[in-house]
Structure 1
Amino acid sequence: MEAYKDIAECIEKYFTDYLVKERGVSAHTVRSYRDTFVLLLEYMNKEKKISADKLGLDDIDRSIVLSFLDWLQEVKHNAVSTRNQRYATIRSFYEYMMYEDPVHLSHWKSICSIRIKREERNSVKYLTVDGIKAVLEQIDTNTREGRRNLTLLSLMYNLGARVQEMIDLTPSSIRASKPYVFELFGKGAKKRLVPVDDNMMNLLGNYMKEYGLDRPGMDHHPLFFNSWRAKLSNPGITYILHKYASMARIAHPDIVPSTPTPHTFRHSRAMHLLQVGVNLVYIRDLLGHVSIQTTEIYARADSKLKREAIENAYRDLGITEPDVKSWEKDPKLKAFLKSLA
């Protein structure tokens, strides 16, 4: 049997030639895939006592990958969804290896045969409109930083944006003439246009003027940045949100029952649009979902909407909603049903 190729060279080619040049994935995807390999190297070093410089492609087989995935859950406390995302990265690499090194095809196929782990689907977590207001009201707008944070969180909610999409915004992302539109780049570098209203643009315009982002030559500067004028990071935006959400929980525990994440703001925007009657297809396009099935989680999550839909259906048909226990009032039907036992 021919010797295995060098793992470092294969991983490097996978990233530079396959992911970046051939598939053209976003920088965010590259970082996510990179993190998976960093964790795999950490696992092999700590649990299998094989350091990165000694590691070979033949050291990682189906059983090792399964153990690594369990380690992510048990030691790193990753959710099932995160475990499955990490495996998707590993599987992508070994699918690439099928063509890069077909001599060991059976080895690569055995790793790719691992099934994703079933996960419980939790209900969508979102804040009510009052909950969003309660968080934003905690921001002290008498400070320069506070005005930035209000603009950041308000825009994140209005756009229904992912946190990485907020990080990547620049002044060039904005069409500053009516109708006001933001250009966002989502997963897979897919572009979408999201409109905002006059109030949001007024808030943003004041922020940009205060921070000098309306000057010539600032088109590609990060729209939201830290004291070093570098892009805010995912943990940085999460910290800002948690700061005000924690204050809101103390002041309004009934409407802010738990600390929201940036993605909670995205879910909240979608739910609020749905609740005022916006079509799911429009919400899909606003959020940048590939399939309407993904967006349907919001319709399934809102029990009030379900109830109203049922009531409207009966009303449209001109009938009264049936009594679920009406059989109890019919002695013949009751006797028949009991006889079936």
Structure 2
Amino acid sequence: MSEHLLLAPLLESYFRRRLTKQRNATSATLASYRDALRMLILFAAARLGKKPAALALEDLDRDLVLAFLDELEEKRNNSVATRNARLAAIRSFFHHVAAADPASFGVAQRVLTIPTKRAHIEVTHHLTNAEVEAIIAAPDQTTPRGRRDRAFLLFLARTGARVSEATGVNANDLQLERGRPQVLLHGKGRRDRVVPIPKDLVRSLTNLLSERGLANHEPRPIFVGVHNERLTRFGAIHIVRRAASQAVSITPSLEDKPISPHIFRHSLAMKLLRSGVDLLTIQAWLGHAQVATTHRYAAADVEMMRRGLEKAGVSGDRSARFRPNDTILQLLASI
């Protein structure tokens, strides 16, 4: 076997040089790409009847990668988005192969021609203001856990932070005493951003810091679990779902909503949009890498307008009171 086709040296140089040193990839990216390539190698080993250490680069040809992607969807029931994320990791590795080992360019080029799969864009679910406030009010404020839960729910709802951003916030990321309180969020891909925080969240965070004996300048986590360790993603999900289940008795509409920490992010975006905030500002606030991601909120808002018109009897009912002008009708018809 020629040296240039050995898989192990290319994998090692990919993670040690390209991702770590050249791209300065985050730990989350490293873990995601590592898992994707590990799954591909185990799949190839099982399919070809070889030990993983005995695989050569030429074993990972286009047909095998396509079979691996099919298995993700058909046997592992992965979504198209997950399938495309795995493919992105594989393509990243083969870009490195093409540059690091010109003799393997043909193998790499054939894999790089695999296209991403178009995914159905799901409806962007969000909560009404009343539903958001009902969930925030659900935790018992007479207990330390309840006060922590309310502060965390408020943080998600008022900042629009991702779960990883909310759980990753430290006391020294807060600026509560300045004229315009704000928090530094550490976003995906090392993209940090500063977002404002309103008075109710300022009060809740100030009380939480005082209760935990934290000073603003300390690099210690704000939200912690029962053992005083940083709150995990699973802990965050549990807090949100527990509060939502408690709020259902007061706000029954919550029972039909897909509750998760991320729904607060969508809800804030819709609230900003309806308040007249432009999409570029919403993009900067939420930390979207592309404005196209933010456009789905505008699409969701127009979809709600369409349903409202249908309920009002605009379509096919000349007796309906509401008469949108021709521009609105053309806009709705084009979507």
TM-score range, shorter chain: 0.7 to 0.9
| 1:1-341 equivalences in 2 (<5 Å) | 2-45=2-45, 48-176=48-176, 177-214=178-215, 219-249=218-248, 251-303=250-302, 321=325
Change in CA separation of 1:53 and 1:303 when aligned onto 2, cut-off 3 Å: same
* Structure 1 residues 49 and 236, CA gap change in structure 2 (3 angstroms): farther
- Stretches of structure 2 lacking an aligned partner (at least 5 in a row): 310-322, 330-335
Aligned equivalents of 2:95, 2:273: Cα separation in 1 = 40
Render the CA deviation track for 1:269-323: whole Å, top value 9, x for unaligned: 101111122222211110112332321111111137757xx9xxxxxxxx98359
Per-residue deviation, 1:212: 2.1
Using the alignment, how far apart are the partners of 2:72 and 2:141 within structure 1? Answer: 41
Instruction: Give the ranges of 4+ consecutive aligned residues of structure 1 lying more than 6 Å apart after TM superposition.
Output: none
Question: Percent identical across equivalent pairs?
Answer: 32
Change (3 A) 1:50 1:299: same
Secondary structure of the 1:302 match is helix
Q: How far has the Cα of 1:220 moved from its partner?
A: 1.6
SS in 2 for 1:229: coil
* Contact 2:174–2:216 (8 Å) recurs in 1: no
Q: Alignment partner of 2:252: what SS?
A: coil
Structure-2 change in CA distance of 1:2 and 1:320 (3 Å) = closer
Q: How many corresponding residue pairs?
A: 313
Match of 2:317 in 1: none
Whose Rg is larger? 1
Q: Mean Cα displacement is larger for which, 38-47 or 28-37?
A: 38-47
Measured against aligned partners, the alpha-carbon deviations of 1:116-155 in whole angstroms (never above 9, x if no partner) come to 1111112211111112122223212221112111111210
Task: Tell me if the contact between 1:299 and 1:305 (Cα under 8 Å) persists in the aligned partners.
Answer: no
Tell me whether 135-144 or 96-105 shows the greater mean CA deviation: 135-144
Question: What amino acid maps onto 2:191 in structure 1?
Answer: K
Report the counterpart of residue 331 of structure 1 in structure 2. none
Task: Please report the TM-score for the alignment, with normalisation by the length of structure 1.
Answer: 0.83
Would you say the 8 A contact 1:158–1:196 is kept in 2?
yes
Q: TM-score, normalised by structure 2?
A: 0.85
Aligned mates of 1:266, 1:83 — CA distance in 2: 24
Aligned equivalents of 1:209 and 1:23: distance in 2? Answer: 40
Amino acid at match of 1:302: D
Contact 2:175 2:182 (C-alpha < 8 Å) held by counterparts: yes
- TM-aligned CA deviation for residue 194 of structure 1: 0.3
Shift of 1:3: 3.7
Change (3 A) 1:320 1:210: closer
The residue matched to 1:230 in structure 2 has which SS? Answer: coil
Distance 1:76 1:243, change over 3 A: farther
Confirm or deny: 8 A CA contact 1:249 1:259 kept in the other structure.
no
Q: 8 Å contact 2:5–2:58 — kept in the other structure?
A: no
Query: Which residue in the other structure is 1:328 paired with?
Result: none
For 1:47 and 1:245, how far apart are their aligned partners in 2?
45
Cα distance 1:189–1:126, how it changes in 2: closer, same or farther (>3 A)?
same
Q: Distance in 1 between matches of 2:328 and 2:285?
A: 39
Matched AA of 1:244:
A
Distance in structure 1 (CA, Å) of the matches to 2:26 and 2:97: 21
Change (3 A) 1:58 1:155: same
The structural deviation recorded for 1:101 is 1.1
Partners of 2:236 and 2:88 lie apart in 1 by: 27
> Shift of residue 157 of structure 1?
1.7
- What is the RMSD of the two structures over their aligned residues, measured on CA atoms? 2.7
Deviations 1:28-66 (A, max 9, x none): 222222222233244335555444333332221111111
Separation in 1, partners of 2:16, 2:86: 19
Helix, strand or coil for the counterpart of 2:120? coil
Deviations 1:65-113 (A, max 9, x none): 1111111112222111111111111101100111111101010011110
Q: CA–CA distance in 2 between the matches of 1:51 and 1:267?
A: 46
